[in-house]
Amino acid sequence: MEFKFEIMTDGSARLVKAEGEEMDNLRWHAIKFMEYDETVWNDHPVTAIGEYAFYEQREMTRIHLPRSMKVIGDHAFAECRFLEQIEFPEGTERIDDYVFYNCTRLARVVLPGTLTHMGYGAFRNDSDLRDIHLYTVQGMESQINTILSDTNFELTVTFHYKDGNVSQLVFTDFFYEETANEEARQFNHKTYGSGSLYRNCISSTGIDYMKYDEIFELTIHRDEPTTVMDLALKRLSYPYELASQARRFYIDYLKSMGAQVLFYMVETKRWSLFSLLTEGEALPKEMLDAGIEFGQKNQVPEFVSMLMQYKNIHYSSMKKTFDL
């Protein structure tokens, strides 16, 4: 693999083009001109990747960028169809237009707190993208809107705030259906899913958490049960700005799902969240029995033990009493 560079006016270098044989994994620290966290070329720190630099490098699966990187140019990694994850180092400032366009296997992205510009269509048509982490401060979360506006499928976004707080929000999927009403000479519009409503909770001033939580009641009726349970569990796991009334509503919904929520915890390996269901009235014995049976069938002894302990506390054998 041959790399071509150019020197910029500030003395730093920009990687202009990568050419040659295809790479299975592009990891910067494996390239001979990089020895440490800061990549240098002829004593010039590499701070930018130019337009179309890695365009259609389809064998590339991972990218590890050096801490010196600041700018990723237009279409730099577009059409990298096998790229699965990218983590931008702290210090990255710009991700320009269509940088990861049509990277259809890209599933996970980590965005730094130093990011000041997200280009148009930067992650457009990345159909496998489901997990985004954004390091930010409260009030600056709108950086994620460029990605959210380009997608109508479900996304989980984890916001890592500088004060140490963490919030994890699910933005559910949605789609529009448009049918022609010839008699009235107009089009009828119908929305499926609540994803568009959740996306509207982020504005230039930040996230309206109260508005986000209020949508949940509608989500119960619009979205699939697995999506709704996932949203509730993630919101409860990271209860940033979660009001007590909203918290109670999430928990009550999960308990109303009966054994189905226990099955879901096993299937998604989140049985440690069972403690959320133990608040308030005791869970029905039938629900616990079904969960125990499912846990045994799926060989999850930790979860089975948890349910059996809870069952023994709340449904211990009643001692018989006799009137003398």
Residues ≥6 apart with Cβ < 8 Å to 32: none
Contact 194, 182 (CB under 8 A): no
Question: What CA–CA distance (Å, rounded) separates 118 from 188?
Answer: 34
273-291, pLDDT tens digit by residue?
999 999 889 999 999 999 9
Give domain status of residue 249, yes or no.
no
Local confidence band at 186 (pLDDT 50, 70, 90 cut-offs): low
Confidence band of 93 (pLDDT split at 50, 70, 90) = very high
Which has the closest alpha carbon to 231: 155, 126, 132, 151?
155
Q: What is d(CA 161, CA 165) in angstroms, rounded to the nearest whole number?
A: 5
DSSP string covering 244-271: HHHHHHHHHHHHHTTHHHHHHHHHTT-G
Q: What range defines the domain where residue 19 resides?
A: 1-129
Query: What local confidence, expressed as pLDDT, does residue 32 receive?
Result: 36
Cα 190 to Cα 108, 177, 184, 275, 313: the distances in Å are: 31, 5, 16, 39, 49
Domain end among 79, 103, 129: 129
Split at pLDDT 50, 70, 90, the class of 12 is: confident
Residue 281, Cβ neighbours under 10 Å: how many?
A: 8
For residue 212, being part of any structural domain is answered with no
Query: What mean pLDDT is predicted for residues 105-129?
Result: 94
pLDDT of residue 198: 97
Crossing angle (nearest 10°) for helices 285-297 and 301-314: 160
Sheet strand arrangement including 26-27 = 26-27, 62-64, 85-87, 108-111, 131-136, 155-161, 166-171
| Number of domains present in the structure of the chain | 2
At residue 181, the pLDDT reads 65
Asked if residue 3 lies in contact with residue 33, where contact means CB atoms within 8 angstroms, the answer is yes
pLDDT(185) > 70:
no
* Dist CA 12 CA 301 (whole Å): 56
Does residue 123 sit within a domain?
Answer: yes
Is residue 29, in this structure, part of any structural domain at all?
yes
CA nearest neighbour of 93 among 76, 78, 72, 108: 72
Least confident of 57-66, 183-192, 215-224, 240-249: 183-192
Q: How far is 207 from 201, CA to CA, in rounded Å?
A: 6
Give the domain-ending residue among 129, 164, 183.
129
Mean pLDDT of 242-258: 97
Residue 192: its pLDDT value, please? Answer: 78
Number of separate helices (H) and strands (E) present in the chain = 9, 18
Range scoring the smallest mean pLDDT among 44-48, 126-130, 133-137, 296-300:
44-48
Q: In 3-state terms, the chain is what percent helix, strand and coil (to 5)? A: 30, 25, 45
Please check whether residue 59 lies inside any domain of the structure. yes
Sign of CA dihedral 305, 229, 254, 278: positive
Cα–Cα dist 208/118, whole Å: 21
AA letter at 292: I
The yes-or-no verdict on residue 26 having pLDDT over 90 is no
Entry pTM: 0.86
Whether residue 238 lies inside any domain: the answer is no
Q: Is the pLDDT of residue 318 over 80?
A: no
- The answer to whether position 68 is within a domain reads yes
Question: What CATH number is given to the structural domain containing 1?
Answer: 3.80.10.10
- Indicate whether 5 belongs to any domain: yes
Residue 230 identity: D
pLDDT at 262: 97
Q: pLDDT at residue 28 above 50?
A: no
Whether 191 has a pLDDT exceeding 50, the answer reads: yes
What does the alpha-carbon distance between residue 73 and residue 209 come to, in Å, rounded to a whole number?
34
315 or 43, greater pLDDT? 315
Mean pLDDT of the chain: 87
Domain-terminating residue out of 82, 97, 129: 129
